[in-house]
């Protein structure tokens, strides 16, 4: 997995590539925690290049959602592949997360 970070307007954007699983989710968690300590909002996670995410990856995103909520910020996920979107639907997380089609929409205010 590879994670890169950019600033797009007021958004803190994380571009994730590869698989997010029990081996790689701690790295993603570390990147997100840094932005959360700075109370970034909106915090955008681009999953366009993620073909697989397991329960530990979902847990990482849920933790970030809870943390951003504590300071009144926003977390947006974008670019979910059909496979990843199906997992979010099965886990009934599609209604909990702010899911956007693309990076531009997610980074806008």
pLDDT tens, residue order, the chain (109 aa): 999 999 999 999 999 999 999 999 999 999 999 999 999 999 999 999 999 999 999 999 999 999 999 999 999 999 999 999 999 999 999 999 999 999 999 998 7
Q: Which fold has domain 2-107?
A: Transcription Regulator spoIIAA (3.30.750)
Question: At residue 64, what are phi and psi to the nearest 5 degrees?
Answer: -65, -40
pLDDT at 34: 93
pLDDT at 109: 72
| 46, burial (CB in 10 Å: exposed 0-12, middle 13-18, buried 19+) | buried
10 Å Cβ neighbour count for 40? 23
Rounded distance, CA 67 to CA 22, Å?
20
Q: Which residue has the tokens 């989710």?
A: 25
């Amino acid at each position: 997995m590879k994670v890169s970070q950019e600033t797009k307007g007021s958004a803190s954007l994380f571009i994730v590539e590869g698989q997010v699983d029990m081996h790689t989710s701690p790295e993603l968690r570390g990147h997100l925690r840094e932005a959360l300590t700075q109370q970034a909002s909106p915090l955008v996670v681009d999953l366009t290049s993620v073909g697989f995410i397991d329960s530990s990856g979902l847990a990482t995103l849920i933790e970030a959602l809870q943390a951003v909520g504590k300071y009144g910020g926003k977390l947006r996920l974008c670019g979910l592949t059909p496979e990843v979107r199906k997992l979010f639907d099965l886990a009934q997380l599609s209604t909990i997360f702010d899911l956007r089609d693309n990076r531009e929409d997610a980074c806008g205010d």
